[in-house]
Amino acid sequence: MARNMITVRMSSPLVRIDGLKKSFGDVVALDGISLQAQAGKIFGLLGPNGAGKSTTVKILAGLIAADSGSVEIAGRDVSREPAAARAAIGYVPQEVTVDPYLTAREHLDFYASLYHLPVSVRETRIREALALVGLVGQEKRRARRLSGGTKKKLDLACGLLHRPPVILLDEPSLGLDVQVRHDVWNHVLELKRQGAAIFLCTNYMDEAERLCDEIAIIDRGRIVAQGAPEELKGRLNRDIVAVEVAGSNHHQADSAAALERALAGLSIVREARREGTRLKVYVEGHEAALPQIVETAARAGIPVHSITYSRPGLDEVFLHYAGRAFSEEANSA
């Protein structure tokens, strides 16, 4: 293979997965998933722990072999042309993999050599990568002495040196504090702007919502829904009205139950769930729902303490398609 040559067959999506299956013993990790990721877009694989995200990304990185189905990176089949496919990816694993004994600069030199960057561009690329993740001035510090967030940024920088057309990020903000998390998000958005196809696994709803142009929701090895975040939420066609009833303690629960019964007659109400003194009403998506609910409560003589109207989040989308709450699964995993 020519040194440091990454040929991308344009026109085709940069990541193409078709009918991918993988089992570990009796456990089916991936049960026939298909998806595509495009240049200049962030594709998110969202799901609870154990849903099959890491398995997917490891197959994309050529680290484990699929049982069946095909996987192409930049037009190269990962099992038939593993070296060409690997050259086209930058993989940043879930774990922080920096070497505590090496300085930030030595990490970049290390990866520059592994990817055979020509000497003529090496210095520029290393400076660019350091600048992108805000590590300029910390090059000479050993990774041991860097904060957790800075280590993660260094990890990210190491995956970008060879300017891969496809960047695989497995849980990029796992365990990071809020500030670093936002920094990492900004770096990811910058990479997207530069034209990379970013394939991101996450079990954070907000991360998927904030970053992704397209999301596939994965549950127990199957893609249960796929589309742009807004589209997925819009497809549910139901907004949420949360009503908190007022009154003294032992009356509140009764009032909430009474309100639930009263609302059942409204045509715009799809479903209501009672959570103690709070009633979560799923309504067909239009603002007329709010006055109707207020009016119904008033007519039934139920005192209302507060009422909030919200659009569904991705957790509602997950609940809808997977048939259970996202957090239940995440906690039991």
Partner 1 sequence: MRDFIEETHAQFTRWMLHLRREPFSLAFNLLNPVILLVFMGSAFQGIARGSLGGDYRSYLLPGILALTAFGNSMAGGIPLLFDRENGSLMRLMSAPISRASIILSRFLAVNVSTMLQSLLILVLGIAFGVRIATGLGGVLALLGVGLLLGFGITAISLMLAFRFENHGDFFAVIGLTSLPLTFLSSAFVPLDSLPAWMRAIALVNPMTYAIDAMRALILTGWNPQALATMMAVLVAFDAVMLWLGSRVIGRHLG
Q: Whole-number minimum distance, CB 195 to partner 1, in Å?
A: 21
**Of 27 and 83, which has the nearer Cβ to partner 1?**
83
CB closer to partner 1, 78 vs 259:
78
Residue 187 beta carbon to partner 1: minimum distance, rounded to whole angstroms: 18
Cα angle vertex 143, ends 145, 203, to 5°? Answer: 105
Q: How far is the CB of 95 from partner 1 (least distance, A)?
A: 4
For the bound state, the minimum distance from the C-beta of residue 141 to partner 1, rounded and expressed in Å, comes to: 13
Minimum CB–partner distance for residue 28 and partner 1 (Å): 22
Task: Report the amino acid identity of residue 296.
Answer: T
Instruction: Locate all alpha helices (DSSP H) within the chain, ordered by sequence.
Output: 53-60, 82-87, 104-114, 119-132, 148-158, 178-193, 205-211, 229-236, 249-263, 289-299, 314-322, 326-332
Shortest separation between residue 86's beta carbon and partner 1, angstroms: 4
What is the 3 state secondary structure string of 157-170? HHCCCCCCCEEEEE
Report the alpha-carbon distance of residue 85 to residue 71 in Å, rounded: 10
Angle, nearest 10°, between helix axes 178-193 and 119-132? 140
CB burial of 58-71 (b: ≥16 within 10 Å; e: otherwise) equals bbbbbeeebeebeb
CB nearer to partner 1: pick between 113 and 306: 113
Cβ nearer to partner 1, comparing 144 with 182: 144
Helix (H, G, I), strand (E, B) or coil at 26: coil
Minimum distance of partner 1 from residue 261's CB (angstroms): 54
Best CA proximity match to 76, nearest among 147, 4, 160, 13: 13
- The radius of gyration of the chain from alpha carbons, rounded to an integer in Å, stands at 24
Nearer residue to partner 1 within complex by CB, 199 or 326? 199
Smallest distance from the beta carbon of 212 to partner 1, in angstroms? Answer: 22
Cβ atoms 8, 14 nearer than 8 A:
yes
Q: How far is the CB of 238 from partner 1 (least distance, A)?
A: 41
Of 26 and 101, the one with the shorter C-beta distance to partner 1 is 101
Q: How far apart are CA 4 and CA 148, in angstroms?
A: 31
Q: Which positions lie near partner 1, rule CB under 8 A?
A: 1, 3, 58, 61-63, 65, 82-84, 86-87, 89, 91-97, 99, 101-102, 106, 109-111, 113-116, 142, 168
Whole-angstrom distance, CA of residue 45 vs CA of residue 50 = 12
Give the whole-angstrom CA distance, residue 295 versus residue 138.
62
Residue whose tokens read 């930058």: 90
Q: Between 102 and 253, name the residue whose CB sits nearer to partner 1.
A: 102
- DSSP annotation of 296 reads H
Half-sphere exposure of 239 (CA within 13 A, CB side): 13
Length of the chain: 333
Between residues 40 and 82, which has the closer beta carbon with respect to partner 1? 82
State which residue, 48 or 62, has the beta carbon closest to partner 1. Answer: 62
